[in-house]
Amino acid sequence: MELSNKMKKLPKQFFASLVQKVGAAVAEGRDVINLGQGNPDQPTPPHIVKALQQSAENPLSHKYSLFRGLPEFKQAAADFYKREYNVDLDPETEVAILFGTKVGLVELPMAMLNPGDLMLLPDPGYPDYLSGIALAEVQFETMPLKPENGFLPDYDALPDEVKERAKLLYINYPNNPTGAVADSAFFEKTVAFAKEHNIAISHDFAYAAIGFDGERPPSFLQAEGAKEVGIEMYTLSKTYNMAGWRVGFAVGNADMIEAINLIQDHLFCSLFPAVQHAAIAALTESQECVDELVALYEGRRNALVEECHRIGWNVEAPKGSFFAWLSVPEGYSSEQFADLLLEKADIAVAPGNGFGEYGEGYVRAGLLVDKERLREGVRRIEKLKLF
């Protein structure tokens, strides 16, 4: 059957071929260390699972949720932002519940822009941003994230006509794929840039909780005036290992929140109430599980970086997220190096060019296997005598 022109324009899933290659290697019985994906390996903390179980047994949870979700969940999100970031939010007008932030990031351009409008995206960046571009039929320009700028975009370097035409801008810190963390000064600069050029901001805070070396990644909404220009998307997928549950929320600018809620009124009937109750438990009960998780990732990061340095691979330690952004040795493209690691060392990593042009020269490794497996991975690479 013929599909719509819009469907034909959807971007190809770059990482589908990686998944296929890894699947084929595993099917051959090879012991692949898979660092290619971004799926948390730890289980959801038991008190959150219990909250789901209890709610699932209550017949009230079997009905349609309110269109825009449970008021208690929105209140919990607002309280969470007050407690964690000292940000004040009105739960009714400044919080929108999401089926995971992927949905929010994809629907926002449709809710805010007209076909042909211009968006700004980071390069390298999370590939699903491009899905929203295609569905809304908008145009985009990229903002290079370069190591010399700490993988932050340089707004001053953008051409004037791009600054004038752009209506919506996405940023993401702690960053996937580079592991970079933004400071408050950068967010303040972002607010000033947004005000000067009348651009709406959406900060993807997917790795909010995961900052290393005692540094807590700041929220974009802590910057003065941030709520006047933008929103932040917060997922429970990473902070609480709830990737399969599909739950997150957007917070901030009331007009943008209303745009999200309005489009969602026509797409969904909010989330299964039991998932919302579990999310409330995650946000309001003890946060010890989060501290433990960050310590686990930090231990893995240290093990990986230490081993890489031992074999002479001069990699930078990520400051946050659960990814390491590793520079590729001379003579290889990102894809050639990723293929080499899979073929000769049974290690899967994501080639950096899959995240954009400025990802070339890097591969992304997820800190999503235990320390010993990470060390074993580097020992296998050592045998290739590349460094």
Ligand X SMILES: Cc1ncc(COP(=O)(O)O)c(C=O)c1O
> Which positions lie near ligand X, rule CB under 6 A?
38, 100-102, 126, 172, 176, 204, 206, 235, 237, 243, 248
How big is the chain by its Cα radius of gyration, in Å? 21
- Closer residue to ligand X, CB minimum distance, 34 or 237: 237
- Closer residue to ligand X, CB minimum distance, 109 or 248: 248
The least distance separating ligand X from the CB of residue 44, rounded to whole angstroms, comes to: 13
The least distance separating ligand X from the CB of residue 329, rounded to whole angstroms, comes to: 26
- Closer residue to ligand X, CB minimum distance, 172 or 307: 172
The least distance separating ligand X from the CB of residue 178, rounded to whole angstroms, comes to: 11
The least distance separating ligand X from the CB of residue 179, rounded to whole angstroms, comes to: 11
Beta-carbon contacts of 178 under 8 Å, excluding residues fewer than 6 positions away, are: 124, 145, 151, 318, 323, 325, 362
DSSP-H helix ranges across the chain? 5-8, 16-27, 46-56, 71-85, 101-112, 129-136, 160-165, 184-197, 226-229, 236-239, 254-265, 273-284, 288-310, 334-345, 371-382
CA angle at 11 for the pair 33 and 327, rounded to the nearest 5°: 40
The least distance separating ligand X from the CB of residue 353, rounded to whole angstroms, comes to: 17
The phi-psi region of residue 285 (left if phi > 0; otherwise alpha if psi is between -120 and 50; otherwise beta) is: beta
Residue 78: is it exposed, middle or buried by C-beta count within 10 angstroms (0-12/13-18/19+)?
Answer: buried
The least distance separating ligand X from the CB of residue 160, rounded to whole angstroms, comes to: 29
The least distance separating ligand X from the CB of residue 242, rounded to whole angstroms, comes to: 8
- Closer residue to ligand X, CB minimum distance, 212 or 323: 323
- Closer residue to ligand X, CB minimum distance, 219 or 237: 237
CA distance linking residue 231 with residue 203, whole number of Å: 6
- Closer residue to ligand X, CB minimum distance, 181 or 345: 181
Q: What's the one-letter identity of residue 298?
A: E
Q: How many residues does the chain have?
A: 387
Contact 249, 98 (CB under 8 A): yes
- Closer residue to ligand X, CB minimum distance, 176 or 253: 176
Q: What's the one-letter identity of residue 166?
A: A
- Closer residue to ligand X, CB minimum distance, 176 or 276: 176
CA angle at 263 for the pair 257 and 268, rounded to the nearest 5°: 110
The least distance separating ligand X from the CB of residue 59, rounded to whole angstroms, comes to: 29
CA distance linking residue 170 with residue 230, whole number of Å: 10
